[in-house]
Amino acid sequence: MTELIITHPGSSHFDEFFALSLILATDTEADFIIERREPTIDEINDPTIWVVDIGGDYTPEKRNFDHHQNIDLSASFVLVASFLGYAESLSSLVWWNFKDRIDRFGPAKVGAEIGTSELRTTYSPMEGWMLDMFATDPNSLIPIMRQFGQKAIESADKLATQRATWKRARRINIGRYGVLIGDTDDSEGAQDFNMQLDTPAAVCISMDSRGDGWKLLRFDNAQEINFSKLQGLPEIKFAHKTGFVAKTHTRLPIDALLELIRLSLPEYE
């Protein structure tokens, strides 16, 4: 079965690219054709045709997902994700709200909200290159877009799993500094979980995914902790010069790890 997706012509954007990626990732059996042009009235009223980011209509049951006619509507990729049942999980990804607001309000307004006039400098040249290819020949990118959509869905699911892992983490305090100890070699999700706590921790300990030791990672709310102080100690395999992370050669006892953390505190000079 072949399904038709219509999106807008002209320059392409992350919004419709990702919305279409989610559609393609959801239905891996159907053959899709993407057409970048204005839809007809009959196509807008045809519930078998996807009309995304164009058409002036948001009616999910007709597969119409435009947001430009109503400033209160989220970007098209959010509307499509809601229809497909992914919005709750995908909204946990750190870039979700940012990409929604950038598409709806532009870099000047969003930059002002976060206190910068240089937001355009953060745009990825890789993203721009991919969008240019999509504008030129969208159907050639269908396999890549499908994989991209699947990866985003998998990443959101993984983040939910990791948050659950950190919810089970052991907590120890060193004075006023909390330390989370996770039984995992993946620190993803730790920062998000930590910032939801009434009293956020300062450091997380996890197993080193690239070696036989531990990884010590400071949380964003504890910039005063400096693991670069540990450089040169026999237990330390690596300590980043900016002080945000350090790794040990072996799985030291927890008491030994806590002593290393104590040496990294501002009180220890």
Please tell me what DSSP assigns to residue 117.
S
Residue pair 62/47 in contact by the 8 Å Cβ criterion: yes
Q: 114 φ, ψ to 5°?
A: -105, 10
The tokens describing 61, both together, are: 């049951």
Using CA atoms in the order 150, 156, 157, 163, what is the torsion angle rounded to 10 degrees? 160
Which pLDDT score, from 0 to 100, does residue 206 have? 96
- Say if pTM beats, i.e. exceeds, 0.85: no
Q: How far apart, in whole angstroms, are the C-alpha atoms of residue 185 and residue 211? A: 10
Q: Residue 28: which domain range?
A: 2-160
Using CA atoms in the order 150, 156, 162, 168, what is the torsion angle rounded to 10 degrees? -140
Q: 180 in a domain, yes or no?
A: yes
Q: 30 in a domain, yes or no?
A: yes
Specify the CATH number for the domain of residue 245. 3.10.310
Please tell me the number of Cα atoms within 13 Å of 166 on its side-chain side. Answer: 26
Among candidate residues 141, 160, 179, the one where a domain is terminated: 160
Give yes or no: residues 181 and 251 share one domain: yes
Q: 189 in a domain, yes or no?
A: yes
Candidates 249, 255, 256, 241; CA nearest to 210 is 249
Among candidate residues 136, 160, 184, the one where a domain is terminated: 160
Strand order in the sheet with 236-239: 170-174, 177-181, 203-207, 214-218, 245-248, 236-239
Give yes or no: residues 190 and 142 share one domain: no
Give yes or no: residues 47 and 68 share one domain: yes
The tokens describing 103, both together, are: 């598409």
| Residues near 34 by beta carbon (within 8 Å), at least 6 away in sequence | 5, 6, 7, 20, 138, 139, 142
Give yes or no: residues 57 and 98 share one domain: yes
SS3 203: strand
Which pLDDT score, from 0 to 100, does residue 230 have? 97
Give yes or no: residues 90 and 12 share one domain: yes
Separate counts of helices (H) and strands (E) for the chain:
9, 11
Which pLDDT score, from 0 to 100, does residue 117 have? 84
Q: How far apart, in whole angstroms, are the C-alpha atoms of residue 189 and residue 237? A: 24
Which pLDDT score, from 0 to 100, does residue 122 have? 82
Give yes or no: residues 60 and 114 share one domain: yes
End-to-end CA separation in angstroms for the chain: 69
Q: 269 in a domain, yes or no?
A: no
Which pLDDT score, from 0 to 100, does residue 203 have? 97
Question: What's the structural domain count of the chain?
Answer: 2
Place of tokens 């009434």: 198
Q: 24 in a domain, yes or no?
A: yes
Using CA atoms in the order 190, 114, 198, 165, what is the torsion angle rounded to 10 degrees? -20
Which pLDDT score, from 0 to 100, does residue 163 have? 87
Q: 268 in a domain, yes or no?
A: no
pLDDT tens for each residue of the chain, 269 residues long: 789 999 999 999 999 999 999 999 999 999 999 999 999 999 999 999 999 999 999 999 999 999 999 999 999 999 999 999 999 999 989 899 999 999 999 999 999 998 988 888 888 999 999 999 999 999 999 999 999 999 999 999 998 888 889 999 999 999 999 999 998 998 888 998 999 899 999 999 999 999 999 999 999 999 999 999 999 999 999 999 999 999 999 999 999 999 999 999 997 65
Give yes or no: residues 147 and 17 share one domain: yes
Residue pair 187/159 in contact by the 8 Å Cβ criterion: no
Residue pair 149/24 in contact by the 8 Å Cβ criterion: yes
